[in-house]
Structure 1
C-alpha cells in the first residue's frame, strides 16, 4: 500500500469516530505512524485529504452505477441494477457514507459544499438520463419531479441501512423501489418539481460563467415564441457582449422576461449577473 492510500484509510478511521472538524493533522499522522512532513508530501492540507476521499468514494459509486446501467441489455432489469448498485456501494463503504450524510448537513466549508453539489448534479444527470431512456415521452411532464422522488428513496433507505442495526436484503429493497418507481412513472400526473425549478436549483449552486450564461440565453432564444420576450433576450445578450444599456433599460428588459414561466430562472441569473457587474464597477 502506498503512503497516500495509507493516509486516506487511516484518516477515514478517525473521521468515522470524530468527524472532519474534530480530527487534526497531528492525530492523523500519529494514527498513521508518520511525520507531518510525510503527510504534507501527499496532501497540502486536511481539506485536500477530505476532498480526495470524497472524490474516491463518490466517483467510484457513480461510475459503478453508470457502468451497470449502461451495459445492461435488458431495460426491465436496468432500474433494478441502478438501485442495487447504489445501495451495495453505500453498504460497502458504510463508514465514509455515514460521514458524508452527517457532514453535508453541517459543513460550512465552501470547497466541501461545492464538491457535494457537484456530485449531486452528476447523480441527478444519471437518474434523469435513465428515466428518459426507460419511460420516454410518458414522463415528459413529470421527469424532473421523478428525479427528486428517486433521490428521496436513495436518501431515506441509505439512512436506514447506515444508522439502524436492521438486516437489509438489497435484492428485496431494489425490487421494492423498482415497483414504486414504475408506479410513479406510470400514474403520477401532478409534478411539483418542474423543469424551471429543477434548472433554477442546479444553477443557484454553481458559479455561472459568462459563457454558460450566454449558452443559456441562446437556448431560451431558440425556445421562445413571443416577440417581446425574444427581443428582450436578444438585447440582454448583446448587452453582455458589448455593454451599452443603462441600468434602467436593463431592469425594464428583465421585467419583460421574468413574467414568462420559461424565463424566470434565466431572469434570476441575469439579474444577479448585472448586479455583480454594477457592484464591481463602483
Structure 2
C-alpha cells in the first residue's frame, strides 16, 4: 500500500475512536509503523491530513452522485439520488459523525472554504437533476426546490448520524421522492430568484483548467501502483493533449477509473470538462 494511503486509513481509524483533537501525530505514526519524518514527507501537519481526508470523502460522494444524476433513468433518478447519498454516509458513519462535528466546531478558514466549495458543487448536481426531471414545470421555483432537497437530506440524516435510530433506507428514499415530487408539482411561490442565486454563488464556480487536470493526473500516476486505473489515467492525459480527442475512448477510460476511490475526482472533473467543451 502507498504510504500516504496507509497514513490516511490508520489515521481515520484513530480519529473514529478518539476524535481529531485527541489523536496525536505520534499515535498515527505508531499505528502505521513509520517515523514522524516519514509522516511529514506526506503531510505538513495533522490539519493538512484532516483536510486531505475530508477532500477524499467529499470528492468520492460528489463524483458518485454526479454520475448517478447523469446516468440513472428518470423514473429511478430521484430515488437513486436519495438512497445513494444516505447509504454512502451510513457506510462511512464514523467519518460522517466526525465530519459533522468538525463543521460545527472548526474556525479553520481552509476547511470552511472547502465545505462551501463542495456545497456549491452539490447544489449544481441537484439543479441538473431538478431540470432534467421537471423541466419548465419548475422554471420559477427550482432554486427553492434545491434548498428544500438539501433540508430534507440534512434533517433526515440526523436520525442515524446523531440519534442512532434504525433506518430503512429504501423506505426513506421512497418517502423523500414522494415529498419532493409534491413540492415540485405544487409549489407556486418562489423566494429565491435566479438573480438572487447568482449573487449568493458569486465567485464560487471557478472552472478547473485542462492544465490543472493534467497536473492532478500526473500526481495520481506517480502515487499509484501498476493497474488498469493507472494505465487509463495515462491514456486520458494523452486525450487531453491531442487536438481532436475521441469521446468514445474517453467514455470507456472514465468507466475504468470512476469506481477507484483515488480516481473518482478526476473522472468527475473530466466529465464536467468535456461537457463544457463539446
Q: What TM-score, normalized to structure 2? A: 0.69
Structure 1 residue 4: Cα displacement? 1.5
Structure scoring higher RCO (CA < 8 A, sep ≥ 6) equals: 2
8 Å CA contact 2:8–2:49 kept in 1: the answer is yes
1:165, CA displacement in angstroms?
Answer: 2.2
1:68-87 to 2 correspondence within 5 Å?
68-72=68-72, 74-87=73-86
Q: Which runs of 5+ in 2 are unaligned?
A: 207-278
1:145-184 matches, within 5 Å, as 145-184=144-183
Q: Which runs of 4+ in 1 moved over 6 A?
A: none
Give the unaligned 5+ runs of structure 1: 209-282
1:110 counterpart residue number: 109
Provide the rounded CA distance (Å) in 2 between the counterparts of 1:136 and 1:177.
Answer: 19
Deviations 1:51-101 (A, max 9, x none): 2111211111111112122111x2111111111111111111111111111
Aligned to 1:5: 5
Q: Which moved more, 1:99-108 or 1:117-126?
A: 99-108
Q: Supply the distance in 2 between the matched residues of 1:184 and 1:131 (Cα, whole angstroms).
A: 12
CA distance in 1, matches of 2:201, 2:69: 24
Task: Count how many residue pairs are aligned between Structure 1 and Structure 2.
Answer: 207
Give the CA deviation at 1:207.
9.9
- Answering whether residue 47 of structure 2 is matched by residue 65 of structure 1, we say no
How far, CA to CA, are the matches of 2:205 and 2:110 in structure 1? 12
Larger Rg: 1
**Greater CA deviation, 129-138 or 63-72?**
63-72
SS at match of 1:20: coil
Q: Deviations for 1:162-214, whole angstroms, at most 9, x for unmatched residues? A: 2222221111111100000000000011122332332333237x599xxxxxx
Provide the secondary structure at the position in 2 that maps to 1:39: helix
Task: Give the TM-score normalised by structure 1.
Answer: 0.68
Q: Matches of 2:196 and 2:15 in 1, distance apart?
A: 35
- What is aligned with 1:138? 137
Whole-Å Cα distance in 2 between the matches of residues 90 and 115 of structure 1? 18
Instruction: Determine the structure 2 residue equivalent to 1:274.
Output: none
Cα deviation per residue 1:243-268 (whole Å; 9 max; x = unaligned)?
Answer: xxxxxxxxxxxxxxxxxxxxxxxxxx
Two-structure CA RMSD over aligned residues (Å):
2.0
